[in-house]
Structure 1
């Protein structure tokens, strides 16, 4: 036999193929998984609340690039005792009831989920120091309506300026509001927050962290100052954080105080993901007046033959409410504050 090896040499025989584990479509059921809620996220580590225990967890590989955000209800396996050094694993994200989104700017097609499962969006704005930013408020309201969340205006620093001038702008929208001042009574604020999960958004320096510390005395959120030259606040909160509110006293019993999610101060709120038809849907009384609008009508001021204009001419629509809606609509394309 020619060749390097004879038939008696081991190298002559075919080498066994590498044994591989056969693939299967079956996936773990995680019957032993428990449910928790995401409190905060920090560099790939998730702090959860599981049966009143604070648990540190990572995301399981099968979740891939699926994002997990503050407010998410998740199913967890592993060590959920919360003991020092323990680490659990998130294996599933429970279907969200709401998602608050924004884009980096109006040309960015990538949506970023800020928080999930919040029923109320609290737009915190100072009446002075720094001055209010109506366009930023409008954009936050648009995001709330798009997410199906109840908006609430929280006006801080009422000891520095009368809130009436700002409130008159938003009355026609039917958005509820509360007014606070330094060291003032927060009973009305607590009543609006009770029994639900609320996310607080606002630019830096408006007093959001001060408000959170007053509502949750042991929150210890860092408080920043407003730059005297630029009139802007310094970012103090660096990540969103879910906090439980103390219960409200109600005679001999107590009422659930609810939850709040404190978020970092924002300077932009991109709305590339919001479509005009989605926004008008948040105003049922106006939406029904647009049924005969031409195809592609955005219901803006310059749209010809818009049903809103015809309804106002016939006295069927409140001009102030239509103007307020169109201001929100215009806020989608005006990013300067």
Structure 2
């Protein structure tokens, strides 16, 4: 997949079609857009592409509450590539861009090589979100570009949306989140030094550096799969404040990778949440905590046996 940072180039010659959206989580609703795009691309012989933004509007527009997100830009790139998108345009959602009217956005979007567009029913754009999917349809019709507007996608009688999935993940309801994502929820980031307490107890952990806006599962201990250097391992991950060993009320994500002894500082790690083992507990000392971690590891091994390499 080719990734371009900016708008589609008006001078480009190769025919392409676009799916529009922020694609946070790249969930089942987004997948319907992508499927529609790819089917049309196969019939009409154009490149299936996505146009999205690096920044979420709520992180840029004054007066809006910054939203927690399911995916970082890197994760969205990864998942969109997995879905078979061939070109990805990632624009910058700046204050200047947010102030542009809907007409300006559409004129920039409908370059000569654009031959097809698909959006969700609730897509909005332009200053204050004034533009609608119907505006795009009318604009495209006048230029001979078909614009397909897909209806709401529902699972269990409720709309599939990034907002719904965020709430499920934050409550630790991972099974329902998987139904909407069509894959387990995951986090990824660089490994940073920790306080080494896990190492002293015989359970070394990799502490992940994550952006503040990243959605975290509910506090507790999870059976997880850790992905590193093209391989994966069974793991146990703690999400929370670690009340037994610290008084700081700062949520962290630390993972014990079974069978992995080397220091991972600075390495990039992805952790996929499979099943919650228990909630976060404050133990009366490190000995009790160590015994519980040993039980957590054994429980995770059983759960992950069909999935892990080691």
Structure with higher Rg: it is: 1
Asked whether the two chains share a fold, i.e. TM above 0.5, the reply is no
Higher strand share: 2
TM-score, reference length from structure 1: 0.26
TM-score, reference length from structure 2: 0.28
Higher helix share: 2
